[in-house]
Amino acid sequence: MSRFAREGGSGERLRRGGGRRACCGVGSAAGMMPSGSPAVPVAVLLLLVWGAPWTHGRRSDVRIITDENWKELLKGEWMIEFYAPWCPACQNLQPEWESFAEWGEDLEVNVAKVDVTEQPGLSGRFIITALPTIYHCKDGEFRRYQGPRTKKDFINFISEKEWKSIEPVSSWFGPGSVLMSSMSALFQLSMWIRTCHNYFIEDLGLPVWGSYTVFALATLLSGLLLGLCMIFVADCLFPSKRRRPQPYPSKKLLPESSQPLQKVEEEQEADEEDVSEEEAGSKEGTNKDFPQNAIRQRSVGTSLATDKS
């Protein structure tokens, strides 16, 4: 680490020395020119153009992560900061984070940041509940950094591999899981609803209750459509069984083991037929004897009447 510090200090001194030499060279050239020469403003302009990058600072080494390129985090080693521009703690961390990013190439680690106000889907995917939040990622394994937030501590965390002592995030709650993808979609939907609400109120001039009414109707319609789609899918996957007409009874060939039972049933049927025939015959006999009995009763009755007379 001292080697990197010496190299950084020497580089800074070289830049400062080069700047002084350039200024002296331009100044001497300007002194040699006549007072009315047009080369003087040209030299000043060249000086301003050459020194502009150093006055505004070098290009930031911190990479910006969005919903489109977040899968780059699954390859290599990363340190990711989740922040919001309005967060005071995040604002205090930015200088340290920028300084740490300058060491990223030497430490072979990518330093990135995510603006949760611009990327609500990533805040839901990583379950961001506090700001700032820092994650370490190594080949798709995510660990939450909870140590001190200084440049020195960040460097030691990577160089000494202190991240190995931290339990990685479960695969169920990893940013690439189905659960966290659903959370990301919900966060994006909530931000879209908020944007629509502001559009209805501010741009279209609708009252608050009017905006709520629109969302209520949209919720009802979406629920109806979703229910119809679910019924259609269920009907396609599990169709209802159609009733088939019952076939006419037909005699089936019974196995040999059931032949005694069949004989018993046939004997019972024959006995029932005999009993029914006997009952029918008895009824016919009574019907035939009825007129003869009636005649006999009449003849007996008349004879008794003559005897009495």
pLDDT in tens, 151-169: 999 999 999 999 999 998 8
Which sign does the torsion angle of CA 216, 218, 219, 225 carry? Answer: positive
How many angstroms separate the CA atoms of 116 and 129, rounded? 11
Catalytic residue among 23, 90, 137, 236: 90
* Active site annotation includes 24: no
How many angstroms separate the CA atoms of 30 and 43, rounded? 7
User: For the segment 251-272, what is each residue's pLDDT rounded down to a tens digit?
Assistant: 554 455 555 666 667 777 776 6
Pairing of strands 141-145, 133-138: antiparallel
User: For the segment 191-243, what is each residue's pLDDT rounded down to a tens digit?
Assistant: 788 888 888 888 888 888 888 888 888 888 988 898 999 988 888 888 877 66
Which sign does the torsion angle of CA 207, 209, 215, 221 carry? Answer: negative
Tell me what pLDDT residue 93 has.
94
Lowest mean pLDDT among 71-75, 76-80, 281-285: 281-285
* φ, ψ for residue 80, nearest 5 deg: -120, 130
Q: What is 63-178's CATH number, 3.40.640.10, 1.10.760.10, 3.40.50.300, 3.40.30.10? A: 3.40.30.10
Around Cβ 84, how many Cβ atoms within 10 Å?
17
* Active site annotation includes 196: no
Domain residue ranges of the chain, discontinuous segments joined by + = 2-56, 63-178, 182-237
Catalytic residue among 23, 24, 87, 137: 87
Higher pLDDT: 167 or 42? It is 167
User: CB neighbours of 110 closer than 8 A, spacing ≥ 6?
Assistant: 63, 76, 77, 78, 79, 104
Mean pLDDT, to the nearest integer, of 18-23?
A: 38
